[in-house]
Structure formats: structure tokens, C-alpha cells
Structure 1
Amino acid sequence: MSTHSGTDTGTRTRTRTRTTPRGTARLRMLALAAAPVLAFAVACGGDGGGAKDEGVASVPDTPTADGSSTAKEDGKKEKEEKKDGGTTGKSAFFDAQMTYVQCMRTKGGVKDFPDPRLSGYLDWAKIDAITDPNGSGEEQKGGKNGVCGPELRKAANLEPERDEQKDYESMLAHAKCMRDNGVSKFANPTMSGGNVIPGGEANPTDPTFDRDSPAYKEAREACKDKLLEGLDGMQ
């Protein structure tokens, strides 16, 4: 969108914003996702270790005081419940994204907001192209005052299950490519508790590189094929 997944603390709620193994929330979507479960990604956009290409931080699951399971087990339970309820699948994901798109075109005030791809993921290249550089970023943040946030979160929750390890490897290759193409401070993604935390800007609240610069855009173009479908804009 993803969930990329955004600004870049905005909509690609593309950090990992959920504790389930499936969700890829876009960094660009973080600003509009007010729920606590969507919040930690802003502070965790990367480990800042731009020079390292290996090393995965792992946070093991631990039992709670009453013996109940924690993040990963709860995520598995949620995934199983959704499968039983028939609420997952590409068709449901696409339909939910179309509902979000329609909201953006009407209540959100972005009449040219593009259709999602056939896969259901938002087309961030087209969204970037229509984003007003002098505006408030509503194209990236769920419309005016985040009015389409509920539709966006519903779509994110219906994103088909992803392979976190493959996502991590894809983002790691992309981060290395970005550094090789001149963006030297582009940070690696990390893994925590079985979930991917995207890399890129080490501190989104205090950017270290200009995403609008020709050099950055050239690097993005050179490295775009390193990212799997649905990961564009996550880092």
C-alpha cells in the first residue's frame, strides 16, 4: 500500500505497522494511521547502519505474566481467523483499495487519484506524479484531514499474506543499490519479531537526503526493480 505502502512518514504505512506476518504498511501512510498499532514505524524507519549489508535484529516472543502468547502468536491467530472468515484474498484487497481510491477522489479532494494496480497495490509512481509539492500532502495522507483513513486501514488489513523474509531481502538489495548509486546514507531494513522494518531515511523526522533532488530520483529509478510488488515507497 499497502499497504508503501510515504511524506514518507505519511502514507506508505509501509513501515511494518502490524504485528501479523502479512501486512506491509507504507511509510507514507503512517501519519494518517492514528491507531497505536500503526505508530511505531515512524521511529523505526531504519537502523541507521547504512554501511552494513547483513545482520538481522531479532526479538524473540516471550510469554506474558498470565502465560498468554505475544506478538507473533497473536499474529498467527489473527491470520487464521481471517482465513476462516473469508476476508482475505486478492479480490477483497483490490475492492477495498478501490473503495479507498473512490474516497480519495470524492471526500478526499484528490479527483485525479489513480486506480490501484491489478494486484491491488497502490501505484505510488502515479500518486507521486500528482502530488502538489506546495500542498499539504493530502495525496499521500488519506485526503483532506485524513478523511479516508478508515478506508485505507481497511484495505491494509486485507492485504494478502506476504513472505517477510523475501520482503526483507528485497529491501536490503534495494538499500544497497541506493547506496551504490550515490545515496550513501540510505539505511538497511531490519527484522524484529519476524516483521520487516523498512530502511531508507534513518530519521524521517530529520531527513538527511533530499528525495526531490535529481541524484536521488536517478538512484530510485536505477534501483526500482530491486523491490518486490507492493514494496515501492516503503523505504
Structure 2
Amino acid sequence: MYNDGEFARWRRHPWHGLAPMADDADEGVVTAYIEMLPSDTVKYELDKNTGFLMVDRPQRTTATPPALYGFIPRTYCAEEVAKRCEHADVADGDPLDICVFSERLITRADIILQARVVGGIQMIDDGEADDKIIAVLDGDNIWGGVHDIADLPPIKTERLQHYFSTYKMIPGKDIEIRVDTVYGRDEALKVIEASRTDYNNHYGHLFDRKS
């Protein structure tokens, strides 16, 4: 479907056309494509076919994401990610989500940034593994020195857990979401590696020059 020449001529697809980390990145620093801001009351999501950011749905509740929200390029949540989640047999079939804390206000989405991974939340959404990696903006003047989840104030993680446990709520409809498992940097890096393996297993053919 894609080859290096096409990537060079046109804007790169945020999912398939960007590397998950810069060549010179420190260990644990990944590239994040940002879809949503903490001020967004509409859920924006990448349209996987075109690579453009689209309106997925207006948020039904007043909840807004407590951090920048997006995904890590060239990741995919499938069999290997599901193996890391004891209570899920499958994963959600999307790129791996990432939440990034920044001390300075970032006022637009559809951007990329470098994020230092510090942990994650093992979210199970209706039986599917839907992990949320937690990170801080690399080089941030307040959060840049954070290296593990224990270095963050607990309220930061609690707000993320509350958001993801409630943002799909509809009055009168039961939605089974679990966000009770929080893990540190080491496990987060293993989840990222599993998602990269899943991506290569399912989409590696996109980079086969013979395809």
C-alpha cells in the first residue's frame, strides 16, 4: 500500500509514516501523535484510511482528558498486547494510546512530540485490552525529570483513571470498563514493545519493497 517513495513525496501518514521513536532518542522516549487536548469537548480521532484528524463524536459528558491524548506511531494492539493483560483475551485493534503531561499549555492537536514514558494504565474496555501509556513531555521544565510513575503526584494518575472510567458513560446503559491496574515504566516499555511486534505482524508488509 505504501512505500518509502510515497512517504517522501506526500505528508506522512501519522500512524504508518512516522517512526515510533527518533533515531537519537534516549531509552524510553517515544514519538507521540496528539489527537486531543485537555480542553477538547469533542473526541477527535485519526481517520486510519486518510491520515487526517476527524471528529469521532461530541463528548456526552463534561469530562475532558486530563493530559494530551494520542498514540505512538507504528504500534498496534493485538495478540501480543493482549497476552500482557490477564483479564482480556483480545486487544482493541488500534494504535497504542498515550497520555502526555506538559507544564506549558499546548493549544493545538495534529502535532507530534517527544514523550518520556513513565508508566501506564491497563484499561479493559468491554473485555478488550486498551492500555494507556502515561508519559511526560521530554525536556519539560516541570515534568521532564520524571522517569517513573511513582515520581508523578498520584492525583495525575487518578484523574486519568477517572476520565477513562467515565468518558463513555451513557445514562441507562452499562459499559464495563476497568482501569484499576496502574504499572510503572518497565511494564510500559514491555507493552510498547508488544504493540510494535503486533504492528510488524499485521502491517509489516507495508514496508516490503516488493509489495
TM normalised by structure 1 equals: 0.25
Structure ranking higher on relative contact order (CA contacts 8 Å, 6+ apart): 1
Higher strand share: 2
